[in-house]
Amino acid sequence: MNKRFNIIKINGFKGLVFAFFCIGCLAAGFLIFPGWVCMHIWNYFAGFFIQAPLMSLVHGVLLWCIIALSVYALNKGDIAISFGSASTVSPNEERLREIFNKINEHNTKNIMLVKKHLEESVQKDNSDVEKDDKIAK
């Protein structure tokens, strides 16, 4: 089994309630609260203009999504989002070295087997040629 993946096990009704609670907290933290802030900022500045419409919370969330997705789409690699463990680079390099060493050992064994097979076939061919020479004489 791959050790990189973490499995979240949800048991029973309490686990299901906890999962919905976690999803709700994430939605509130990353969507609802910034949308609420955007709504209030918009409504504050809309008070200075005569014909500016006021926003509701839904419109604030949509404005926040537009801002966040635009920043993410227009960045030049300065802002990076990554999921996974924050392990150091050295274990990955060590693991790659182990893999390359295994590959090299495997290739070396295969080369030795091919050389041995070629030597045997050359010897067999030489013995066949000697037999043909004896028959021809």
pTM beyond 0.75, yes or no: no
- Specify whether 93 is located in the same domain as 129: yes
- Report whether pLDDT(137) > 60: no
The residue from 64, 80, 96 where one domain ends is 80
The whole-chain average pLDDT of the chain stands at: 82
Q: In sequence order, which ranges of the chain are alpha helices (DSSP H)?
A: 12-27, 33-46, 57-74, 89-136
Q: In angstroms, rounded to a whole number, what is the distance separating the alpha carbons of residues 43 and 93?
A: 53
pLDDT at 94: 81
Q: In angstroms, rounded to a whole number, what is the distance separating the alpha carbons of residues 135 and 28?
A: 94
CB of 47 closer than 8 Å to CB of 40: no
- Specify whether 71 is located in the same domain as 106: no
pLDDT in tens, 17-34: 988 999 999 999 999 999
- Specify whether 100 is located in the same domain as 120: yes
Q: Percent of the chain having pLDDT more than 90?
A: 31
Enter the tokens of residue 102. 């295994």
- Specify whether 58 is located in the same domain as 115: no
Q: Is residue 22 part of a domain?
A: yes
Enter the tokens of residue 5. 């993946």
- Specify whether 21 is located in the same domain as 70: yes
Q: In angstroms, rounded to a whole number, what is the distance separating the alpha carbons of residues 105 and 83?
A: 34
- Specify whether 73 is located in the same domain as 109: no
Question: How far apart are the two ends of the chain, measured CA to CA in Å?
Answer: 67
- Specify whether 52 is located in the same domain as 73: yes
- Report whether pLDDT(113) > 70: yes
Q: Which domain holds residue 115?
A: 88-137
Q: Is residue 2 part of a domain?
A: no
Enter the tokens of residue 31. 């969507």
- Specify whether 69 is located in the same domain as 94: no
**How many domains in the chain?**
2
Q: In angstroms, rounded to a whole number, what is the distance separating the alpha carbons of residues 97 and 100?
A: 5
pLDDT in tens, 44-82: 999 898 888 999 999 999 999 999 999 888 887 776 667
Q: Is residue 3 part of a domain?
A: no
Q: In angstroms, rounded to a whole number, what is the distance separating the alpha carbons of residues 131 and 35?
A: 92
Which position has the token pair 């043909």? 132
- Specify whether 74 is located in the same domain as 22: yes
- Specify whether 72 is located in the same domain as 130: no
